[in-house]
């Protein structure tokens, strides 16, 4: 597949940071047996990865803005372009030695995501997309799943946890969806969840209370794989809203209807 110069910059930045994360991941697995635990080490790995990515991206395009999870936003002099980066999406997985985490890099142009990279260094799976150019896993073109009814579908989700999200609202949504689908999965990395929708591994996905860096790259991957992406209420700006529903046209619409189903009253 042919990549633009900008996408190549993003891929190389992800590969470089990925090598560092892969080394750190091995150390974290060893630290699991220590009394102190690996939390501090993971925080250092996270910040180190973001510094590496930021330096590489801003070296290539010094006038672009930069929004990352670990540092303050950099306002670019360009005004039209912004990098949106999660250097370690799936930190809890990383912390517990689970090889399901990713580097997520998106390029925003005048408010629209135009290029995306999601890279899992533990599996060497590289997901890429450019607006109008399709989505790819390594060099294989991706399409969202073709299932049309929820009863055949496996959907991903993100569950609120300690100190985050509206647990009561989510449990109602989960109860509604559980009764309609073939299976629900919670893997703990929104960028990879969306990449899995693009690859047809998940038929759909929904989650609330997300940050821009969690989903910016994944949104483009799903759209370029032929999928539908909205916020929870059906709006067209999930990155700004911080909530998302996606899948093919049939699954995304059906999933949204089920999630908004009224709660029965006694």
Say if CB 222 and CB 144 are below 8 A apart: yes
- DSSP type of residue 242: T
HSE-CB for 197 with a 13 A CA cutoff = 36
Q: Is residue 69 marked as binding?
A: yes
Q: Is residue 209 marked as binding?
A: no
Q: Is residue 150 marked as binding?
A: no
Q: Which residue has the tokens 């449990």?
A: 171
Residue 109, token pair as written in the block? 């142009």
Buried b (16+ CB within 10 A) or exposed e, 177-213: beebbeebeebbbbbbbbbbbbbbbbbbbbbbebebb
Distance CA 114, CA 221 (A): 10
- DSSP type of residue 50: H
Annotated binding site for Mg(2+): 69, 86, 88-89, 214
Annotated binding site: 69, 86, 88-89, 214
């Amino acid at each position: 597949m042919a990549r633009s110069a900008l996408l190549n910059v993003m891929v190389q930045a992800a590969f470089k940071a990925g090598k560092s994360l892969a080394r750190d991941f091995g150390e974290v697995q060893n630290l699991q047996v220590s009394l102190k635990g690996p939390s501090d080490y993971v925080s250092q790995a996270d910040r180190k990865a973001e510094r590496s990515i930021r330096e590489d991206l801003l070296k290539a395009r010094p006038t672009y803005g930069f929004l990352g999870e670990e540092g303050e936003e950099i306002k670019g002099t360009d005004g039209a372009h912004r990098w949106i980066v999660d250097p370690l999406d799936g930190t809890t997985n990383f912390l517990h030695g689970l090889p399901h985490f990713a580097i997520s890099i998106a390029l925003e142009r005048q408010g629209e995501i135009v290029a995306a990279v999601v890279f899992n260094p533990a599996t060497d799976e590289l997901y890429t997309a450019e607006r109008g150019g399709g989505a790819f896993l390594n060099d294989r073109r991706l399409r969202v799943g073709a299932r049309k009814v929820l009863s055949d579908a496996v959907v991903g989700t993100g569950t609120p946890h300690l100190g985050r999200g509206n647990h009561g609202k989510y449990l109602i949504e989960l109860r509604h969806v559980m009764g309609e689908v073939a299976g629900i999965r919670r893997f703990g990395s929104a960028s990879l969840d969306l990449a899995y929708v693009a690859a047809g591994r998940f038929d759909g996905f929904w989650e609330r209370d997300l940050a821009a860096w969690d989903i910016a790259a994944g949104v483009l991957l799903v759209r370029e794989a032929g999928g539908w992406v909205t916020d929870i209420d059906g709006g067209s700006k999930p990155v700004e809203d911080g909530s998302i529903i996606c899948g093919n046209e049939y699954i995304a619409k059906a999933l949204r209807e089920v999630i908004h189903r009224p709660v029965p009253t006694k």
